[in-house]
Amino acid sequence: MNAYATLEHRFARLSALGDAGGILGWDQQTIMPLGAADRRAEQLATLAVLSHEILTATETADLLGTAEQGATQLAAWQQANLREMRRDFTHATALPPDLVEARSKAASACEIAWRQARADADFPAIAPLLAEVLTLEREAGTAKGAALGLSPYDALLDGYDPGMRQSRIDTLFADLRAEFPALLAEVLDRQRARGPIRPLDGPFPTATQRAIGQRLMAMVGFDATRGRLDVSTHPFCGGATDDVRITTRYDEDDFSVALMGVLHESGHALYEQGRPRDWLSQPVSAARGMTLHESQSLIFEMQACRGRAFVTHLAPMLREAFGRSGPAWEADNLYRAYTHVEPGFIRVDADEVTYPAHILLRYGMETALIAGDMKVADIPGAWNDGMKQLLGLDVPNARLGCLQDIHWHAGSFGYFPTYTLGAMAAAQLFAAAGAAEPGLMDAIGRGDFTPMLRWLRTNVHAKGSLLTTDELLTEATAAPLDGTLYRAHLRERYLSPQAEDGR
């Protein structure tokens, strides 16, 4: 077997180990008995350590070197695969083993303590542990940066979104930041002028919500022979290759959380289910990064399914399933409910318009934290100032403030911006799909996602990691990542004359 073929074999093994970890992780968050927690952590750590050993072995380095010398004789996809192998190797070997271990332990300790600190709204209780995590993440950023020729923050960002850089994000977010206050004020004015939304009174039985969720999954094209829908406290899309498992949570007083959540996670799942099958166990088949991944959840949830056309299709389905009727259940009122804007403290509960404010806040803070321009002790003050400035809210406590998200406490710096970058990419892709498939919007209005999924399969999912995010977007939408269409989408949906009457 030549060097490249041996590498494929080696990375297929890593893929299988990653898949094993994916199922164990899903199980941990959905159905695992509580007493199994310690052993499960042990199992996951063992899989991670073995994978790291295989990936960073001297033999891997030698094989990569040999294969790269003969790279011109490889097919294009193999060359891309080899590039991704090298990328994984560089990220993994950039960190000295003791830093890998220290980082993992500090993040675990902080994450566990964070659950209690959040419940108690007690930031000082977590601050020393978070400071340790930050110190190690800054070290990791510096070490990875040295290997990749990047600044520390860019090096961390590159782990979530290959090729993305802080300078790019600064530019993309500058326009958003400039436009945001006026946009929000205008949206709230408009909304106020229309008067209150009629309430949708529960209860909405979990079984009915689940049945509708499964129907929606089938509608958007989720392949139920290669995935599942289950329940977890924090909804996610996980599992393994050919076994993509999404979760949601059910609130019997409010069905919209579960249903829109299912559509959001289905978007992630469709990306995973649509990865190129010929190279399924190879790095080149993996989804490109978190920006594109989030674009796939948001193109379904936000672009397509909160649009007037789909909500109009959804309305009679909901009336029938829940056995309700009357003005509150007309499409117009449901559409208003699904596009209601209201500044709030919690990111994961935020509407489409205020969501980016939560990201701008976190992005500004985490870049400063990694650069060393902000200290952990400054977090609550900076957070509360930012919330006041961006959304006009006085944060009453740290549970509703800087303790709400797990990310930093689990050692994730560089992840937050991908949510809003994904929203931008979703707007670009949805516009391009609509232009390329003229019947797409009408089809969505009939609950038919075939044209949309067909376009995404070809232009996004089937690309795996062949291209960078910008290359993929340029091929698919004739432009690299850009926020213009996203801001246009917000104005169109929330401020155009049609926003009030439907279109």
Which residues are annotated as catalytic?
Answer: 265
Considering only 2, 5, 9, 46, the residue that binds a second copy (CB under 8 A) is: 46
Whole-number Å distance between alpha carbons of 412 and 418: 12
Residue of 6, 10, 17, 170 that binds a second copy (CB under 8 A): 17
Contacting a second copy within 434-493 (CB under 8 A): none
Work out which of 3, 10, 23, 170 binds a second copy, going by CB under 8 A.
Answer: 23
Contact 291, 323 (CB under 8 A): no
Residue 35 is a binding residue for a second copy (CB under 8 A):
yes
Q: Is 31 in the site for a second copy (CB under 8 A)?
A: yes
185 binds a second copy (CB under 8 A): no
The one-character DSSP state at 389 is H
Sequence-separated (6 or more) residues with CB below 8 Å from residue 12: 281, 282
Using the rule CB under 8 A, is 13 a contact of a second copy?
Answer: yes
Of the ranges 23-31, 291-299, 332-340, 414-422, which one interacts with a second copy (CB under 8 A)? 23-31
Is the separation of the CB atoms in 146 and 96 below 8 Å?
Answer: no
Contact status: 330 vs a second copy (CB under 8 A): no
The contact pattern for a second copy, residues 273-302, with x = CB under 8 A and - = no contact, is --------x---------------------
Say whether the peptide bond before residue 451 is cis (omega within 30 degrees of 0): no
Query: Dihedral, CA atoms, 339, 340, 344, 347, nearest 10 degrees?
Result: -10
User: From the CB of 205, what's the least distance to a second copy, in Å?
Assistant: 16
Q: At its nearest, how many Å lie between a second copy and the CB of residue 45?
A: 8
Q: Which is nearer to a second copy, 245 or 313 (CB)?
A: 245
DSSP state of 232: -
Site track for a second copy across 339-378, x = CB under 8 A: ----------------------------------------
Least Å distance, CB 240 to a second copy, is 6
101's CB contacts (< 8 A; 6+ apart) are none
* 24 scored as a contact of a second copy (CB under 8 A): yes
CB of 16 to a second copy, least distance (A): 4
User: DSSP strand E in 210-259: where?
Assistant: 227-231, 237-240, 243-248
Mask: binding to a second copy, 379-418, rule CB under 8 A, as x and -? ----------------------------------------
Is the CB of 23 or the CB of 74 nearer to a second copy?
23
10 is a contact residue toward a second copy (CB under 8 A)? no
Q: CB of residue 287 vs a second copy: minimum separation in angstroms?
A: 16
Interaction of residue 243 with a second copy, rule CB under 8 A: yes
Residue 228 found at the interface with a second copy (CB under 8 A): yes
Q: CB under 8 A: which stretch of 45-53, 79-87, 102-110, 341-349 binds a second copy? A: 45-53
By CB under 8 A, name the one of 7, 8, 11, 47 that touches a second copy.
Answer: 47
- Tokens in use for 300? 């379904």
Rounded (5°) CA angle 17-239-137:
70
Place of tokens 């399924």: 280
Q: Quick one: which segment of 10-18, 263-271, 385-393, 478-486 binds a second copy (CB under 8 A)?
A: 10-18
Place of tokens 């990694």: 370
Say which residues have a Cβ less than 8 Å from residue 202's Cβ, sequence separation at least 6.
Answer: 252, 253, 254, 255
Distances 374 to 170, 362, 377, 411, 463 between C-alpha atoms, Å? 18, 12, 8, 16, 39
User: Distances from the Cα of 95 to the Cαs of 52, 147, 151, 164, 261, in angstroms?
Assistant: 11, 9, 15, 20, 36
Query: Contacting a second copy (CB under 8 A), which of 2, 42, 316, 488?
Result: 42
Q: Strand (E) positions, 82-144?
A: none
- Counting contacts by CB under 8 A, is residue 59 touching a second copy? no
- Contact call for residue 242 and a second copy (CB under 8 A): yes
Residue 105 engages a second copy in binding (rule: CB under 8 A)? no
Using alpha carbons only, give the angle 432, 419, 140 rounded to the nearest 5 degrees.
Answer: 125
* 241 lines the binding site for a second copy (CB under 8 A): yes
Contact in structure between 453 and 220 (CB atoms under 8 Å):
yes
The count of other CB atoms within 10 Å of the CB of residue 193 is 8
- Considering only residues 2, 5, 9, 50, which one is a binding residue for a second copy as defined by CB under 8 A? 50
Neighbours of 275 (CB within 10 A): 20
Q: Does 36 bind a second copy (CB under 8 A)?
A: yes
CB of 484 to a second copy, least distance (A): 40
Q: State the minimum distance, in angstroms, from the CB of residue 214 to a second copy.
A: 13
27: contact with a second copy by CB under 8 A:
yes
Least Cβ distance, residue 209 to a second copy (angstroms): 20
Question: Measured between alpha carbons, how far is 457 from 453 in angstroms, rounded to an integer?
Answer: 6
Between 230 and 330, name the residue whose CB sits nearer to a second copy: 230
Side-chain half-sphere exposure of 170, counting CA atoms within 13 A: 9
Among 240, 258, 334, 429, indicate the residue that binds a second copy (CB under 8 A): 240
Angle at 33 between CA 29 and CA 37, to 5 degrees: 70
Cα(278)–Cα(108) distance, integer angstroms: 37
DSSP 89: H
Site residues, a second copy (CB under 8 A): 12-13, 16-17, 19-20, 23-24, 27, 31-36, 38-40, 42-43, 45-47, 50, 223-228, 240-243, 281
